[in-house]
């Protein structure tokens, strides 16, 4: 497949803008049919953000100090961004995606491949973002790809070497999107396990809240490593119950993302958890943050999905209890450590025991 001629990115927050930079930098090394690098057009909700990106090649609200390549353009008009796009990248807060798609469905090119950068689960429906995209746009799931991995936007915007995963049921499409996003500092691997890749990114935000709470309460590395590891065990149980592959959880979109997010001060989810651990209420935490901490919104849906699938997720359950004000962060450790003892191998599927 030839490189794309035009890529539209809907959402000019930190990850949408950074990914636009990745695609634009990648495009400078691979010309399309016309011999030109792909045109990358970002749709920003706020006109002043669009103007700043388009005219000054900066997005100072989200990526202070980062210069964007000349082939990144921006507009506040979604039709202009989407017109003739071969790839449409979606990077808005998860809970707003459905409403956003309803507004642009008529102008989104039917032939485009749609790529989700989002790491959230929709409340009420418990739907993954790729499922929301397929249902709202009437697209076959083979036309939808997901990008996930240890991808803190600011580090990538600073061109620090990073790997990622592009997942799509159609392996040719995954390879095409990966090629379009392959920049000197960004190396995407492909994977056909969309469920596993997506669930890894969703649940790690909830686990990062728990690790942040440990930080906020002044706990050390044993505690945090225990939460990360048992967090990976419960993520793996849920992902495999939904049809995801266990190996995916040991990869970039599972362990990789979990480690990056849980150890980085740049992580919004870990920061939100830390503030909860310092005794702020969930409302105070939300009010203090200008960017999206998806775990705060998705945790309830993750727990709901787990219960519907008979999957035990004690850390997620404790995080939800803290968010609902039913459990204090100081009582959380007692609640988790006081559970019945069990085998570390309990996460395996029954068939593995035979």
Ligand X SMILES: O=C(CO)COP(=O)(O)O
Considering beta carbons, is residue 112 or 323 the nearer one to ligand X?
Answer: 323
Q: Which residue has the CB atom at the shortest distance from ligand NAI?
A: 13
Partner from ligand NAI, ligand X, none contacting 118, C-beta within 5 to 8 A by type = ligand NAI
Q: Rounded to whole angstroms, how far apart are CA atoms 219 and 271? A: 15
Strand ranges for the chain from DSSP E: 6-10, 39-43, 72-75, 87-90, 113-116, 144-148, 162-167, 186-191
Output the smallest distance, CB 152 to ligand X, in A.
5
Pick one of 100, 191, 261, 316: the residue that binds ligand X (CB under 6 A): 261
Report CA Rg, the chain.
20
- Residue 352 gets the label, from left (phi > 0), alpha (psi -120 to 50) or beta, of alpha
Q: How far apart are CA 194 and CA 335, in angstroms?
A: 33
- Binding residue (CB under 6 A) for ligand NAI from 62, 87, 121, 207: 62
Name which of ligand NAI, ligand X, none residue 257 binds, using a CB cut-off of 5 to 8 Å depending on partner kind: ligand X
What x-and-dash track marks residues 6-45 binding ligand NAI by CB under 6 A?
-----xxxxxx----------------------------x
> Per rule CB under 6 A, is residue 152 in the interface with ligand X?
yes
In what side-by-side order are the strands of the sheet with 113-116?
72-75, 39-43, 6-10, 87-90, 113-116, 144-148, 162-167, 186-191
Residue 76 or residue 89: which is nearer to ligand X going by CB?
A: 89
SS (H, E, C) 258-278: HHHHHHCCCCHHHHHHHHHHC
| Residue 208 sits in the site that holds ligand X (CB under 6 A) | yes
> Binding string to ligand X for residues 170 to 199, with x set by CB under 6 A, is what?
------------------------------
Query: DSSP letter string over 61-94?
Result: TTSTTPPPPTTEEEES-HHHHHTT-SEEEE-S-G
Report the residue from 269, 298, 316, 329 that binds ligand X according to the rule CB under 6 A.
269
**What are the residue numbers of the active site?**
204
Question: Which positions from 113 to 132 touch ligand X by CB under 6 A, shown as an x/- string?
Answer: ------x-------------
3-class state of residue 103 by DSSP: helix
Which of 38, 42, 152, 228 is close enough to bind ligand NAI by CB under 6 A? 152
Question: Would strands 113-116 and 144-148 be described as parallel, antiparallel, or unpaired?
Answer: parallel
Determine, following the binding rule CB under 6 A, whether residue 182 of this chain makes contact with ligand NAI: no
How far from the centroid of its chain's Cα atoms is residue 113's Cα?
18
**Span 284-343, contacts to ligand NAI by CB under 6 A:** 291-292, 294
Angle between helices 129-137 and 194-216 (to 10 degrees): 130
Residue 256 C-beta: closest distance to ligand NAI, Å: 12
* Closer to ligand X by Cβ: residue 71 or 190: 190
> Does 95 interact with ligand X (rule: CB under 6 A)?
no
Q: Counting contacts by CB under 6 A, is residue 257 touching ligand X?
A: yes
**Residue where the block lists tokens 């105070």:** 284
Residues in touch with ligand NAI (CB under 6 A):
11-16, 45, 62, 91-94, 96, 100, 117-120, 151-153, 291-292, 294
Residues in touch with ligand X (CB under 6 A):
119, 150-152, 205, 208, 257, 260-261, 267-269
């Amino acid at each position: 497949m030839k490189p794309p001629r035009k890529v539209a990115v809907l959402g000019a927050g930190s990850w949408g803008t950074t990914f636009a930079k990745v695609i634009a930098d990648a495009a400078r090394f691979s010309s399309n049919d016309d011999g030109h690098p792909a045109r990358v057009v970002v749709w920003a909700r706020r006109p002043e953000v669009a103007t700043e990106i388009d005219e000054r090649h900066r997005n100072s609200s989200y990526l202070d100090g980062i210069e964007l390549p000349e082939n990144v353009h921006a507009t506040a008009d979604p039709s202009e961004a989407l017109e003739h796009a071969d790839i449409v990248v979606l990077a808005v807060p998860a809970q707003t995606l459905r409403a956003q798609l309803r507004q642009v469905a008529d102008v989104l090119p039917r032939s485009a491949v749609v790529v989700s950068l989002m790491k959230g689960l929709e409340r009420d429906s418990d739907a993954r973002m790729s499922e929301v995209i397929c249902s709202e746009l009437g697209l076959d799931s083979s036309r939808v790809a997901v990008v996930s991995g240890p991808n803190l936007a600011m580090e990538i915007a600073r061109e620090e070497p990073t790997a990622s995963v592009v997942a799509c049921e159609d392996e040719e499409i995954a390879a095409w999107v990966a090629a379009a996003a392959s920049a000197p500092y960004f190396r995407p691997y492909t994977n056909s396990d969309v469920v596993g890749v997506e669930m890894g990114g969703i649940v790690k935000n909830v686990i990062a809240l728990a690790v942040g709470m440990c930080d906020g309460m002044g706990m050390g590395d044993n505690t945090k490593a225990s939460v990360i590891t048992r967090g990976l065990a419960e993520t793996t149980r849920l992902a495999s119950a939904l049809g995801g592959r266990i190996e995916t959880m040991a990869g970039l979109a599972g362990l990789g993302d979990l480690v990056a997010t849980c150890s980085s001060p740049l992580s919004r989810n870990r920061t939100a958890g830390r503030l909860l651990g310092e005794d702020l209420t969930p409302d105070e935490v939300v009010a203090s943050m200008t960017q999206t901490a998806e775990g705060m919104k998705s945790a309830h849906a993750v727990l709901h999905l787990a219960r519907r699938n008979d999957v035990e997720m004690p850390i997620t359950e404790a995080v939800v209890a803290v968010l609902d004000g039913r459990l204090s962060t100081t009582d959380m450790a007692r609640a988790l450590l006081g559970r019945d003892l069990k085998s570390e191998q309990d996460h395996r599927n029954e068939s593995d025991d035979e």
